[in-house]
Amino acid sequence: MLFSAIADLSKRKEAELVAVPFWEKPTPATPLKTLATVVKPPILAKDFTGKEGEISLLYPKGGKEKRLVLIGLGKESELSVDGLRRVYSTLVKFCLKKKLSKINLLLPNIVALRTITLEECLQGICEGVLLTNYQWNRKTTAKEKSHFLKHVTLVGTLPQTLGMVRPIEEVAEAVYLTRDLINENADVVTPHYLGEVALGLSKKFPAIKSTIFDKKRIEKEKMGLLLAVSQGAATEPRFIISRYEGNPRSKDHTLLVGKGVTFDSGGINLKPTGHIETMREDMSGAATVLGTLAAAAATNLKVNLTVVVPATENAVDAKSYKPGDIFTSYSGKTVEVVNTDAEGRLILADALSYAIKHLKPTRVIDLATLTGSMVVALGNGISGFFSNDVKLAKQLLDAGNSTSELLWQMPLHKPYKEGLKSDAADLKNCASGRAAGSITAALFLEEFVGKVAWAHIDIAGTAFIDKEFHYWPKSAVGFGVRLLVDFLKKISR
């Protein structure tokens, strides 16, 4: 998509639609000038009130656009970045239904407001537009093929402000990458494919260096848990390490680890119908950290960042690992497998142990579609997370609130570790019963992180949704990329 900007309303170029913002009551949120008489009829008729997301379509004569839309921003005093995201997401959906390609947006005049800056205003509007202007669609008929906005002109601001827009576009492109990886077929997005994506980012961005371990190297490193999960797969596992050095003078170093199960059948503990159909999404953690890596490099964040992805399929085969088997992890701890569908924590355990030992990060954040329990607890709008570090937890909560990729801190309740005790190994891979499944999964991971500042974000409910929600599309959301970019940006200051 192309963004352009023009300060003078009268000098705007022709488009298919112009959107005019209004506060609730309604009152214009921007000087209307020549458009003042055009917008009066629906207001006088009380057909338009300016409530958040409300749209009224007009067909003015002799203007530069065939369509004029009045769009409600809600109450002036309640204007927020996420409110703007929601409003302009609604507008984009309206435009896509009309199959429009080129529109003019009159920016609200926020000079008198103290609740939001120009940069935040642009962020809300542009993110609402960009995050909604995405479709995953393989339909072949002309009527049902995807249609996208191609050109948006921001009216009422100088062209120089586009410098604020470009980083927003780059982060949105990283969200698209994440969504595409999650949405694509599992027979396409294999462990090898994820490795190729990492290598592709290294070619695109010189500041990224990638190393890919094949099965032989994984065996050499004795990553017994990753190898166990991969036993039944037709495709070999990969262990991906990608480093972005944005601040060479600093020793500060953030490690992101993403679960990369490219399809999760559940293994011998096979998932039933109703749960297995979307399990290509089980590599959402991997897609999210790769998307974050791309965004960090594209926006030249002044941080040092390493992304690690243990990648495998959890398949059913005569060679598949089985309930009751005991394996030795990279850390040396032995783990009894009591459920082969609790595989994500196994591959993360090896990844965390290896990366912390060899890369010596300042802080570690892992992301995984780990437990159905988290979906039960928090639904599809909030991700639960766990942390052993108060400062890191607060930083992540702040980033979640800033981006509206919301987090809720869950307890690492130590007495629940009793459920992970095994008679024959150091640990079981999951506790008996369904109670506190997210907590016991996090406690299992904690066994492999040592004393480093660590957070585990369970994105099981937010990575992939069954119906659209504002600027979150149905299926892959790309949750976590904007959150992590915001987090990294703030710690770099």
CA distance readout (Å), 371 to 17, 166, 414, 462, 466: 45, 36, 18, 12, 17
Residue 411 φ/ψ region, left for φ over 0, alpha for ψ in the -120 to 50 degree band, beta for the rest: beta
Task: Give alpha helix (H) positions in 110-238.
Answer: 118-132, 162-183, 191-204, 215-220, 224-230
The residue from 345, 428, 482, 489 that is catalytic is 345
Q: State how far the Cα of 335 lies from the Cα of 428, in Å rounded to an integer.
A: 5
**pLDDT tens per residue, the chain (493 residues)?**
899 999 999 999 999 999 999 999 999 999 998 898 899 999 999 999 999 999 999 999 988 999 999 999 999 999 999 999 999 999 999 999 999 999 999 999 987 777 899 999 999 999 999 999 999 887 777 677 778 999 999 999 999 999 999 999 999 999 999 999 999 999 999 999 999 999 999 999 999 999 999 999 999 999 999 999 999 999 999 999 999 999 999 999 999 999 999 999 999 999 999 999 999 999 999 999 999 999 999 999 999 999 999 999 999 999 999 999 999 999 999 999 999 999 999 999 999 999 999 999 999 999 999 999 999 999 999 999 999 999 999 999 999 999 999 999 999 999 999 999 999 999 999 998 889 999 999 999 999 999 999 999 999 999 999 999 999 999 999 999 999 999 999 999 8
Q: Is the pTM of this model over 0.85?
A: yes
Q: Angle at which helices 390-403 and 481-491 pack, to 10 degrees?
A: 120
345: annotated active-site residue? yes
Q: Which tokens is 368 given? A: 């995984």
Q: State how far the Cα of 384 lies from the Cα of 441, in Å rounded to an integer.
A: 12
The residue from 271, 302, 322, 333 that is catalytic is 271
SS3 for 387-399 is ECCHHHHHHHHHH
Q: State how far the Cα of 277 lies from the Cα of 270, in Å rounded to an integer.
A: 12
Q: How big is the chain, counted in residues? A: 493
271: annotated active-site residue? yes
Query: Which domains are assigned to the chain?
Result: 2-157 (3.40.220.10), 170-491 (3.40.630.10)
